[in-house]
Structure 1
Amino acid sequence: MQIDRQTLVFFIVMFIFLSLPSSEDEPHSTKEKEALEKFEKSLTSQHHEMMNSTYESGYGKVDGFLLSYQDSLQNKNISDWPFHHFDKDKFPWEEDEKYSILPNVVSDRIKSFWGINSSKTDESSYLLNITGSCKGSFEKRPYNKDIRPLNVPLPAYLQDYATEYTGYRRGRDSYDDDGNPKDDRGADDSSSYIPEKVGNITFDTGKVSFAINNSPYNFRDPKLNKVNVSEEDRFDNVVVSYGSMYIRDEDDINENKIDMQGLYFQDTGSLFLSSLSAKFMSALAFPHLVMYKDLFANSQKLVDQYFSSNNFKKLYSVDSLYNLVSEATDKCEYVGYIQFQKTNFTKEQLREIDDELLFPSGIPITHDIPKLVVEDYLLYSPDCGIVLEKPKNTEFQGESVEVFRREGKLMLRGLFVLLFIQLILLIKEIKQIRTPGQLSNISSTTVSIFSLQDSLVALIFLLATTIFQSSYLSFVSVSVLAFFMSAVFEMRFLVNVLTNQQNERGISWWEILRGGSSNEEGAGGPTNNTTAPTETDTEAPPGTNTPGNPIVPPADVPGVPVTGFVESDEARISNGLFARTFFFTICTIFLIISAISWRQSYRRVFEITAFMLANSYWLPQFLRNTLKNRRRSFSWNFIIFTSMIRLTPIYYINFYKSNSFRHRQNDYLEVILVTSWVSVQVGLLYFQEALGARFWINDKWLPKAFDYHPILNVTDLESGFSSDILANIRELSESDGDSQQTGNGVVTCKVGCTICMNDIDLPVIVEVDPKLQGSLNAADKKKAQQYMIAPCHHIFHKECLEDWMKYKLQCPICRNPLPPV
């Protein structure tokens, strides 16, 4: 069988792709292989030494802990280790800067608040499950200036590997932005120079937050399935914790993330966390870093269990070694001591609450769920010489992940209800706006803003399902409802509006701003003395004819939508609309994701601006009403309730302290600006209905509205009107009995309505004296409101033509287009 070229190329590419080594494959160079073998051997040796050590014997040969704080100050050479020979009876190890990595000022500060108060079974207890997040502020105390960085070098066997890894990065960093070499530092001050690292905090105050994840008890943890946990080694008061620490300045310009792990002691509410890298194997020093001798044994056994599990065996890979070396060269090491506050619950009550939150059974929780409240904390970086502490009289608190999920579900239910109410309002409004005349008054921009908002909600909450899998159904429900409203109803409604308006020839705002003529609509028509009333005249009985006013516009007046479209136009509009909406939605999501990482001041400006633009939906409708000279397009129920529904999320994130978006609280400026802006738009729509669509602008700048109720004169009837009307007037003039001529020169004649086949009383001015034309009586003005004269000069009853125009904007006689009422 002969293989064509495309098939051969496909198989070659697939073979190369499948032949590529996986990330967990064997080392690809001799240096990598040697470094990995030595790393595994060293880690095994350190683990073995930790298990055979006692509290009095000290850290042992653990990377990062060979030099004490005082040894580093004395510039001792790490190759001369050990410097002290500890003995349980004669010379025991103790927590002192002579033997520990912690300066005395730091260790004394830790002992003053950390792990000093234990709770009993029948009294108020500390939180058992601290999985969640909490945030607060930090400050550097004055003694921070006296802390010196600890010499924490990489092990000798990793120096060559690290040099090869960091060679390109250091070479790149040795040049400035213009390509010029930076000033080299001499070898003398290289030890005192601290390169720019993640966690090297240079500002004195800022914000810090923790994202903590507790492991289950060791006898319940699936990670320890392959480790035989004996009865005596089961601990129900200490668990392993993992966390991420985020340190930011006040303006959120700089953010530093440090991944940490440690132990949480439930009896004292004390959490210890530490970073881990190739030069700082803190996990094997946990038993000593927890400060107290009575915590040593349990910590030692727990670390051994996790180190023996598959979790720590993953460190014996090229990827893990690469990451550990990267952490060692690019980040500051940190140890953290966090003391939580006692709750008002006993340990048994806390277990019941945790079990109900983790495995809901429907049992109501009668108590308020306790928050994560940090009473005090201290963060210390040995290699960067930094100490961060909690400022006095400040709050540092957060919520457990179960509470966050619970609040999130309540938020999703509330949002679902709001979307459902909005959908009901939209369906009712669409049912009322069905005719071409009504659709021509709707602003497509207003509907587009609604559709874009709802499509954003649909896509964002759909993406959130990949992150918050525990609330998958809630997120999907909101996403589907928002997508259903946007893609089915709003898009369909928008397609109808655009299809109805696609052939409009009216003047646009762009032409007005460019200085285009506002009276082009009367071009080409006769210029007899027929009344062309203003906006006020349209709503009230028309005034008398005055010389110089344009006559009724001809059939091809601007602003008349032509309804004779073909089906392909609707499909073309629909396809283009879906493509544009999807494109703008994706771009907006990328912009929002990018804005999350901006500094706080920039984010605030962006947020307020975005909310102002997103809530500008009534402004396009106000301008459309002005241009079309229509007092109202949407019902007031839809306007008021839609505004309230779309403002509710802004109130939620600003006024509800436990909002699921972790938004800053009480941004009154944002709430006032957005609410005022929406209120101004609604107020403008109200004034349009009360005072007229063009109350705020000079009528000369805009095209005049078509008047369906003019009072004709004899000269008008000579151009375009039926000759039967003139003949009827002559007959009335010759007959004294039927003539109803008034003193102001107006005669009423009978004209047939072709829709209902009944007569119309049509007042006609037969007096050519201009002085008499300005004195029409109330009866003639009232008669003018009972008929409608189309641009094609056909005359109908008002009720007849308005009912007809609900379905077709075409003359019933000649099929010429009609301006919407």
Structure 2
Amino acid sequence: MADRRGVVVPLIILAWIILSPEPARNPAARFDDRPSLDDVIAEEQRSLSVVQNSRWDATYGSSGHTLNLTGFQPERGYAWDSLAGVKRRAREQLEYALGDWGIGALDGKKDEPSPTPLYSNATGYVRGKWKRSKLQEDTPTPQLNLTEFAPPGPFGQPGIPRRFERNITGDNGDITIRFNEKDLASPGPRSRQDNNNVTEMSVEMKITDSQSYDEWETQLRGVYFFDIGQAILTTTSDKFAGIFTLPHFALSETTFEEAKILLNESISNVIQRQADRRTELRNPWTTRAEGTGDMRFSGPECELVLYLQQLAPVASTQFSSAFISFLESELRFPTGAVVPSAPDLRFSMLAFSPDCGYVLESKGPPDDFAQDNDHLTGPKMEVQYLHSRHHLMLFTLALGLQLFLLMRQMREASTPSTRSRISFYTIAILALGDGFTTMTFLLISLFLTGLWVNLVGTGFLAFISVSFFGMRFLMDIWHVQAPERERRARAEVEEEIRREQAFNAALQRIRAERDAARQPAETNGNALNPANPVSNTTTTTPTESTPTPAPQSTTQPNVEGLPIPVTAPRPVDTVATPVFMPSNQDGLEPVAQPTAANQTNTNAAVAARMPSFASLYTRFYLLLLATLFLSLNATSWPAPARRIFFTFLGLLYLSFWIPQVHRNVQRNCRHALNWEFVLGQSLLRLTPFAYFYGYKHNVLFADVDFVGLSLLAVWVWVQVVVLVSQEIIGPRWFIRKTWAPPAYDYHPILREDEEGATMPIGFSQAAADGSAPASPIQERTPTSPAARRASVAKDAKEKGKRVFDCAICMQDLEVPVVEAGASSDAGLAGGLLARRTYMVTPCRHIFHSSCLEGWMKYRLQCPICRETLPPL
């Protein structure tokens, strides 16, 4: 019965994933001391009423505290005194982007359209560099009581104070922002005012500190003003009512009123959904990623107020506002019109943290040169999805070519002889890469709904490659190489048995020597003890276990029958019983043969050492899942550690030719895989790495790393060069002969001297003169006269070369031969390439290499004498 214990582990993992409760919906109520949902709704309604009754001229900071909202209490000690300077800096960025028209638009003076073309639908991806703002010098760092902000423990007591998340301590770093123009906290149609000027917006921001290598991801929610291209966003938590105070972060009274009206409607809808229990989130404006729920025991985080100002798109020609509007409409609702490529989005950034006291800006003009960095740039969402579809089509084509090459290799390796040459682990690594691609694409498709069809289609093609072809090829190779593994396991078991028997024999010998050394001492002790007369007079009677010594002969006749001289040494008595062997060998005991029990134990030990393909199948998918989970975990590591991990993982994956090199050495095999398969797979498997390491606008926004890409490419092609050298020079040219098991060389150096026994038997010569031996046994006898006559070639075109006949293609075969009397190193003059043109079998028949290799794909027998041939 097959061993199915390996299925238990994946079943437990799947059951845990499926049956585990959602932390957001099923919290541990007895350990949860948070306010109830009704209390949260009451506090939200109070904060909303404060916003509704507030005015634009409300003061806050050291001059007064008129806003009765969380985060504005005097005892908090937040750096609200710096907010006025932050607003002035945001107005400067607006003036740089839109000029005097933008300053007038803040106050509602929009008599004429904007001269600067801007995207009204600001959805997409932007990325760039950030730096410390000039305002940092005037922004004090608040001295917060960390114990007050420490998350409570599972039993209600205050937890251990930890450092604030998103606390930027470096001077520069990277930032990536994804725009999502949608409702603040709920799906559905987008809220937009009648004046068509303001809408809700949420962004996903990833910020990296280049000095500490810390990386944080957060969600911010706020509003976006279409006419001036400005977004104001903030975080919301238990220590900062950011979404309620958002209108007071506006730069003018006009924008304050617009944001206030929009948020009044939006927040009211969210509170109503909480009251109707359509959502149980205590913080619908959480900064966590979607699907993670409320992080009850997470540490405190630095709050952020973010200003994003859209700049004119970068293009080779200046587009008008009307054309930008038409281009944007064509991207969102395509009609097939021929339009130029859409320019990238451009935004300047200003981030202010009131509780951690830092101010960050994006690098770019006018303070920095555009060559160094041009603020935050990136493609629009529609353009990004279009490029992603094109890239997925190219990757799908690469997967199709990989599958095509694999099918050709499977058709080429359709016989046991050819499958036995291929390394099982080489094909397993290739299949493992396809399986990793399948699971990665299916996982990404859950989050990128716009690319769901493309991702699932590409993942399904990779699934076909690994399940229907890769695993089938692995199964065929596994069954063909099963006898080889059994012989190797049996040899290991027999070697262990021999070592155990040798150890037991040595132990018995040591015990016998110890007993023999102890017995004379006891005899001498009894002889010197007069108190024990019985033991002194006791004699040993001959028994079956103690043979009676034979009487020593005083004379021994020599060869002539005369007695030996008196001075001759006497024979020594060995106390051994003489054995007389009759002429007919009757009465001899048979040689001890291994018993059936020993043979059964050996077979059981061999069977235990040989895993089944089902257990290997389970290990394959467990390794695949473990690699996927570890890779997902590595995405949250610091940037250098993450880069090192994925580069190391890529090196392991791209080492798929190493097992084939090792198998070529073990079997002394030159050609196991087709060169189109080797070269094609090497190039196609490098394509994803070239995309992510060398293409700047990749879908994952990975940084360009030409050093890592060069390392991966060089590593792959070094393996290919080693395979080529094994084909030309020999499989074992780079190792010592003692490092590999002995194997037959089909390309020996041919010598004329018969003692070497390397000259082949000429098939045509033997058939022509009629004196060739009629049996293979006579042919293999190097000293027979027929073999000597047959070893002479039928023709010699020049010195050092002989011509033979190939019995497969019936054509002449010219080979280099070392003449008699030449030095031992003269065989090297024949050249490695010349020796690769012929193959000599152990039965001393010679053929063209291509002819015999084609023959051995189907039969491991000599075409002439039908002798068994060793595999290539």
TM bin (shorter chain):
0.5 to 0.7
Matches within 5 A, 1:444-463: 444-463=424-443
Match of 1:137 in 2: 129
Taking a change above 3 Å as real, the CA distance of residues 305 and 431 of structure 1, as seen in their structure-2 partners, is: same
CA distance in 1, matches of 2:782, 2:211: 76
Shift of residue 252 of structure 1? 6.4
CA distance in 2, matches of 1:668, 1:30: 50
Taking a change above 3 Å as real, the CA distance of residues 680 and 461 of structure 1, as seen in their structure-2 partners, is: same
Deviations 1:566-620 (A, max 9, x none): xx99x98542342222111111111211222222222222222222221122222
Taking a change above 3 Å as real, the CA distance of residues 698 and 240 of structure 1, as seen in their structure-2 partners, is: same
CA distance in 2, matches of 1:43, 1:152: 25
Taking a change above 3 Å as real, the CA distance of residues 437 and 57 of structure 1, as seen in their structure-2 partners, is: closer
CA distance in 2, matches of 1:19, 1:808: 60
Deviations 1:58-115 (A, max 9, x none): 68544047568xx988x9xxxxxxxxxxxxxxxxxxxxx9xx7544433332222136
Matches within 5 A, 1:464-475: 464-475=444-455
Are residue 128 (structure 1) and residue 101 (structure 2) matched? no
Matches within 5 A, 1:270-285: 270-285=230-245
Aligned to 1:503, the other structure's residue is in SS state: helix
CA distance in 1, matches of 2:297, 2:20: 31
Deviations 1:713-753 (A, max 9, x none): 99999xxxxxxxxxxx9xx9xxxxx995xxxxxx9515379
Pick 1 or 2: higher relative contact order, CA cutoff 8 A, min separation 6: 1
Are residue 496 (structure 1) and residue 470 (structure 2) matched? no
> Does the aligned pair in 2 maintain the 1:136–1:208 contact within 8 Å?
yes
CA distance in 1, matches of 2:481, 2:426: 14
Match of 1:605 in 2: 644
Taking a change above 3 Å as real, the CA distance of residues 26 and 58 of structure 1, as seen in their structure-2 partners, is: farther
Matches within 5 A, 1:360-509: 360-361=334-335, 363-364=336-337, 366-374=339-347, 376-391=348-363, 392-393=368-369, 394-395=373-374, 396-504=376-484
Match of 2:772 in 1: 749
Taking a change above 3 Å as real, the CA distance of residues 327 and 408 of structure 1, as seen in their structure-2 partners, is: farther
Match of 1:337 in 2: 307
Match of 1:653 in 2: 692
> Does the aligned pair in 2 maintain the 1:464–1:475 contact within 8 Å?
yes
Taking a change above 3 Å as real, the CA distance of residues 294 and 690 of structure 1, as seen in their structure-2 partners, is: same
Structure 1 spans left out of the alignment, 5+ residues: 1-16, 76-96, 175-194, 517-567, 718-728, 733-737, 741-746, 754-759
> Does the aligned pair in 1 maintain the 2:44–2:271 contact within 8 Å?
no
> Does the aligned pair in 2 maintain the 1:711–1:764 contact within 8 Å?
no
Shift of residue 419 of structure 1? 0.9
Shift of residue 708 of structure 1? 10
> Does the aligned pair in 2 maintain the 1:24–1:319 contact within 8 Å?
no
Shift of residue 659 of structure 1? 0.8
Shift of residue 235 of structure 1? 3.2
Are residue 203 (structure 1) and residue 204 (structure 2) matched? no
Number of aligned positions between the proteins: 655
CA distance in 1, matches of 2:784, 2:270: 107
> Does the aligned pair in 2 maintain the 1:465–1:476 contact within 8 Å?
yes
> Does the aligned pair in 2 maintain the 1:353–1:365 contact within 8 Å?
no
Taking a change above 3 Å as real, the CA distance of residues 365 and 278 of structure 1, as seen in their structure-2 partners, is: farther
Aligned to 2:282, the other structure's residue is in SS state: helix
Question: Mean alpha-carbon deviation: is it higher for 628-637 or for 203-212?
Answer: 203-212
Percentage of identical aligned residues: 25
Shift of residue 819 of structure 1? 2.1
Residue type of the partner of 2:125?
A: S
Shift of residue 782 of structure 1? 4.7
Are residue 148 (structure 1) and residue 140 (structure 2) matched? yes
Match of 1:689 in 2: 727
Matches within 5 A, 1:218-233: 222=189, 233=193
Matches within 5 A, 1:770-789: 782-783=803-804, 786=807
CA distance in 1, matches of 2:350, 2:31: 42
Match of 2:631 in 1: 592
CA distance in 2, matches of 1:716, 1:381: 87
Match of 2:813 in 1: none
Residue type of the partner of 2:343?
A: P
CA distance in 2, matches of 1:21, 1:649: 36
Taking a change above 3 Å as real, the CA distance of residues 479 and 714 of structure 1, as seen in their structure-2 partners, is: same
> Does the aligned pair in 2 maintain the 1:498–1:573 contact within 8 Å?
no
Structure 2 spans left out of the alignment, 5+ residues: 1-18, 61-65, 103-111, 287-293, 497-606, 758-764, 797-801, 809-838
CA distance in 1, matches of 2:201, 2:702: 26
Matches within 5 A, 1:567-582: 573-582=612-621
CA distance in 2, matches of 1:774, 1:61: 111
Are residue 320 (structure 1) and residue 282 (structure 2) matched? yes
CA distance in 2, matches of 1:328, 1:50: 29
Structure 1 counterpart of 2:267, from 285, 288, 307: 307
> Does the aligned pair in 2 maintain the 1:454–1:482 contact within 8 Å?
yes
> Does the aligned pair in 2 maintain the 1:217–1:235 contact within 8 Å?
no
> Does the aligned pair in 2 maintain the 1:223–1:311 contact within 8 Å?
no
CA distance in 2, matches of 1:327, 1:244: 22
Residue type of the partner of 1:173?
A: I
Residue type of the partner of 1:320?
A: R
Shift of residue 399 of structure 1? 2.8
Match of 2:599 in 1: none
Match of 1:113 in 2: 93
Largest Rg, 1 or 2:
2
Residue type of the partner of 1:135?
A: R
Taking a change above 3 Å as real, the CA distance of residues 623 and 785 of structure 1, as seen in their structure-2 partners, is: farther
Deviations 1:683-733 (A, max 9, x none): 22222222233333344544131659999999999xxxxxxxxxxx9xx9x
Aligned to 1:209, the other structure's residue is in SS state: strand
Taking a change above 3 Å as real, the CA distance of residues 20 and 453 of structure 1, as seen in their structure-2 partners, is: closer
Structure 2 counterpart of 1:213, from 156, 166, 180: 180
CA distance in 1, matches of 2:685, 2:869: 36
Aligned to 1:330, the other structure's residue is in SS state: coil
Shift of residue 133 of structure 1? 2.9
CA distance in 2, matches of 1:296, 1:336: 16
Are residue 671 (structure 1) and residue 702 (structure 2) matched? no
Are residue 819 (structure 1) and residue 870 (structure 2) matched? yes
Match of 1:290 in 2: 250
Match of 1:720 in 2: none
Match of 2:63 in 1: none
Shift of residue 377 of structure 1? 2.2
Taking a change above 3 Å as real, the CA distance of residues 707 and 247 of structure 1, as seen in their structure-2 partners, is: closer
Shift of residue 658 of structure 1? 0.9
> Does the aligned pair in 2 maintain the 1:439–1:500 contact within 8 Å?
yes
Residue type of the partner of 1:383?
A: D
Aligned to 2:94, the other structure's residue is in SS state: coil
CA distance in 2, matches of 1:45, 1:647: 59
Aligned to 2:483, the other structure's residue is in SS state: coil
Aligned to 2:196, the other structure's residue is in SS state: coil
CA distance in 1, matches of 2:614, 2:298: 54
Aligned to 2:774, the other structure's residue is in SS state: strand
Residue type of the partner of 1:675?
A: A
Deviations 1:506-526 (A, max 9, x none): 9989x99xx99xxxxxxxxxx
> Does the aligned pair in 2 maintain the 1:495–1:573 contact within 8 Å?
no
CA distance in 2, matches of 1:256, 1:169: 28
CA distance in 1, matches of 2:851, 2:382: 65
Taking a change above 3 Å as real, the CA distance of residues 103 and 56 of structure 1, as seen in their structure-2 partners, is: closer
Residue type of the partner of 1:51?
A: Q
Shift of residue 171 of structure 1? 4.3
Taking a change above 3 Å as real, the CA distance of residues 47 and 638 of structure 1, as seen in their structure-2 partners, is: same
Deviations 1:350-393 (A, max 9, x none): 444444444444x245222232222x322111122221222434
